[in-house]
Amino acid sequence: MSDFLQRTSLTPIPVQHPLRGRLTLPGSKSITNRALLLAALARGTSRLSGALKSADTHWMAQALRAMGVTVEEPSADSFVVHSEGRLVAAQEPLFLGNAGTAMRFLTAAVANVEGQVVLDGDEHMRKRPIEPLVQALRALGLEISASGACPPVTVQGAGCLRGGRIEIDGGLSSQYVSALLMAAACAEGPCEVALLGSEIGARGYIDLTLAAMRAFGAEVEQLDAATWRILPTGYRACDFVIEPDASAATYLWAAEALTGGAIDLGVPADAFIQPDARAKAVIDAFPEMPAVIDGSQMQDAIPTLAVLAAFNRTPVRFTGIANLRVKECDRVAALATELSRIRPGLGIEEGDDLLVASDPSLVGQHLPARIETYADHRIAMSFALAALKIEGLEILDPGCVAKTYPGYWDALQALGVRYR
């Protein structure tokens, strides 16, 4: 484990040169946790390569082991999953840290378990909403309850999810929809998963889910923009390659833009299928970023873009980001608060929008500030970008990046960034 993850704070020293070099990105967290679950639901042996090893994927793998699946880790970027094609009830509550994908995906998946399963997490997870998913599963006749509309969740599995129509409000998170889609292939009959209303969190993540399901043998038909039909095929074991993490790439693309550097990540932006890769076009416009940026379909990239916008030539308003309030922390509030800690009024909440009052003169200034990260990896990684150009920014709890990018501080160091 990197020594940087053990520190209580980290103060990057502003760079006086373009950041240049070649880095290998970690695997996609979103795809890794989908593939781990699907491999666990497939009979046989699946080999997952290019995988992410981080806190989020650790908790998913541990939960699957607790439910009778053999999960081996033969290398730093691979898993080998041996399964009988079904999960069994765990003897103890499943602890999932603050891994939202693991919590949401498993809540639906354990509906196919025979017996009771309790899913829990840390203090931050216990504040993250899951009621829309609970309500959708309860409407299918499942006995399920959550504590105050958030985890812990108790599921009384009936051995097999009942087929039929499942309606879900995906406005808060597309993960609810993905959870139902993946579980539906193991139901006793065909299922239709239908959105209540047209709003949904980043729709591109549904496409990730469908692609992974089909790779493991599922048969899914999209009936219209808000409805999918899933046949009860179950899943087949396979070898699956996971692409690099586009959300992680955004920090390095932004570091490149801020410093006038050239960072080779080994994969072009247009090769990603993850929705956060859309941020590259916005980053390429720096320091003439658009006056209004709709973040609804690249939500995890917004912290990166918001910090980059602090150095833009003109102010930037971020819209469509209400869902950021129910991530690892309230990211809208966190971004506004920490930007304004650097310079009062730099970040402003206006309803659910975030206005960044850009100021290129911040570059080179000595503005001592202790940046609170709220145990949120994306807040820590994005504000490290500001520290590349502003002296005196101390990033608290740098170890929180282990959630998705344990090697982040080492990667910046490899490019020439130094720390105090």
Question: What pLDDT was estimated at residue 198?
Answer: 67
Catalytic residue among 120, 276, 300, 397: 300
Mean pLDDT of 313-333: 96
Question: What pLDDT was estimated at residue 118?
Answer: 98
Q: In this structure, what are the phi and psi dihedrals at residue 377, rounded to the nearest 5 degrees?
A: -55, -40
**Structural domains of the chain, ranges and CATH numbers in brackets:** 3-26+244-419 (3.65.10.10), 29-241 (3.65.10.10)
327 is in an annotated binding site: yes
300 is in an annotated binding site: yes
Distances in whole angstroms, Cα of residue 384 to Cα of each of 126, 293, 331, 390: 27, 22, 16, 10
* For residue 12, cis peptide bond before it (omega within 30 degrees of 0): no
% of the chain surpassing 70 pLDDT: 99
Sequential DSSP letters for 33-50: HHHHHHHHTEEEEEEEES
128 is in an annotated binding site: yes
Mean pLDDT of 7-11: 98
* CA-closest candidate to residue 371, choices 360, 362, 361, 384: 384
Residue 185 scores a pLDDT above 70: yes
Residue 197 scores a pLDDT above 90: no
Mean pLDDT of 279-291: 98
% of the chain surpassing 90 pLDDT: 94
Residue 286 scores a pLDDT above 70: yes
Q: For 82-92, what is each residue's pLDDT tens digit?
A: 999 999 999 99
Question: What pLDDT was estimated at residue 338?
Answer: 98
- How far apart CA 67 and CA 61 sit, in angstroms, is 10
174 is in an annotated binding site: yes
Mean pLDDT of 320-331: 95
Mean pLDDT of 258-284: 97
Question: What pLDDT was estimated at residue 148?
Answer: 87
Residue 215 scores a pLDDT above 70: yes
- CA dihedral angle for residue 97, residue 101, residue 104, residue 110, rounded to 10 degrees: -90
Single pTM value for the model: 0.96
Residue 201 scores a pLDDT above 70: no
Mean pLDDT of 335-352: 98
Looking at residue 251, its amino acid is: Y
Mean pLDDT of 139-148: 92
Question: What pLDDT was estimated at residue 1?
Answer: 66
* CA-closest candidate to residue 181, choices 224, 135, 237, 219: 219
Least confident of 19-23, 200-204, 228-232, 346-350: 200-204
Residue 171 scores a pLDDT above 90: no
352 is catalytic: no
Residue 132 is inside which H or E element, if any? helix 131-138
Q: In this structure, what are the phi and psi dihedrals at residue 134, rounded to the nearest 5 degrees?
A: -60, -45
382 is in an annotated binding site: no
340 is in an annotated binding site: no
- 270's tokens: 């247009």
